[in-house]
């Protein structure tokens, strides 16, 4: 799935993106609040200033220098998410992982 397709489907009301592969995608400043991104591959993705509040990221992979500067994880579920080597991570009010 491309970033454009993801954003179009999100804008149309879809929230279930289980297992989506967006490795290396440019997703800075996007709003994916409330989306299901469990088991998603976001390795190396640029998520700076993205809104991922109340997002399900259970088991998601955010490695290989994923950029997470000023990301909003408020209420997000990061259980078993892999954040090894994530770059410049600033978390706000996420559930424990």
Mean pLDDT of the chain: 89
77 in helix, strand or coil? Answer: strand
Buried b vs exposed e over 54-83: b needs ≥16 C-beta within 10 Å? ebbbbbbbbbbebbbeebbbbebbbeebbb
pTM of the full structure: 0.86
Q: What is the distance between the alpha carbons of residues 6 and 32, in angstroms, rounded to a whole number?
A: 10
Higher pLDDT, 67 or 14: 14
- pLDDT score, position 28: 94
Q: Where are the domains of the chain?
A: 1-8+15-97
Considering the domain delimited by 1-8+15-97, tell me its CATH architecture.
3 Solenoid (2.160)
- pLDDT score, position 97: 46
pLDDT of 8 strictly over 80: yes
CA terminus-to-terminus distance, the chain: 27
- pLDDT score, position 80: 96
**Tens of pLDDT, residues 37-57:** 999 999 999 999 999 999 999
């Amino acid at each position: 799935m491309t970033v454009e397709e993801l954003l179009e489907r999100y804008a149309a009301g879809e929230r279930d993106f289980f297992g989506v592969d967006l490795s290396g995608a440019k997703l800075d400043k996007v709003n994916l609040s409330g989306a299901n991104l469990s088991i998603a591959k976001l390795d190396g993705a640029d998520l700076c200033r993205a809104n991922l509040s109340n997002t399900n990221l259970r088991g998601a992979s955010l490695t290989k220098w994923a950029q997470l500067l000023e990301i909003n994880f408020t209420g997000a579920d990061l259980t078993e998410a892999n954040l090894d080597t994530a770059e410049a991570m600033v978390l706000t009010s996420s559930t424990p992982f």
